[in-house]
Amino acid sequence: MSANSKLTIATHALAWMALNERLGGKFATSEQIAKSVATNPVVIRRLMSEMAKSGLIETQRGPGAGWRLARAPEDISLWDINEALGAEAAFALHRNEPSESCPVARGIRPALTPVYARVDDAIRRELAGTRLADVLRDTLTVSGA
């Protein structure tokens, strides 16, 4: 990616749903969320579809359809969201096979793999420590709502 904003959009959508439910709303529609995020409803549906497959949200079909959270906002971390979206590792190894005949080329990938694994672990720990409820609370504090 250039930089990845999927997590931002998905978290925005879930925070909107959490507030909606708190205010007594039932199912949120892609049109409502798209309006808040300022994008196309199909973009939202694509994200929601991925999160529904991971069990983060529940789908209702037919008239009055939409989605609602499958768990409490305290029980959904940003890592859960990122994982549901099929997050990729922060750093990738070579696209092409490096040279077989060079000792550096032969050994560099096994040498970097554990480093990149530690980076991903660090990201996971950090995201797991922030939950949807935290984000919603901070969001409403900032926006004065």
Partner DNA sequence: GGCAAATGTAACTGATTTGGTTACAGTTCT
Partner DNA sequence: AGAACTGTAACCAAATCAGTTACATTTGCC
49 is a contact residue toward DNA (CB under 7 A) = yes
Q: How far is the CB of 61 from a second copy (least distance, A)?
A: 25
Contacts with 128 (C-beta within 8 Å, 6 or more apart), sequence order: 77, 78, 79, 80
In terms of Cβ atoms closer than 10 Å to its own Cβ (0-12, 13-18, 19+), residue 17 is buried
**Binding of DNA by 52 (CB under 7 A):** yes
123 part of the interface to a second copy, by CB under 8 A: yes
Beta bridge partners of 66: 60
**Shortest distance, position 125 Cβ to DNA, whole Å:** 24
- The contact set with DNA (CB under 7 A) reads 1-2, 5-6, 28-31, 39-43, 45-46, 48-49, 52, 59, 61-67, 95-96
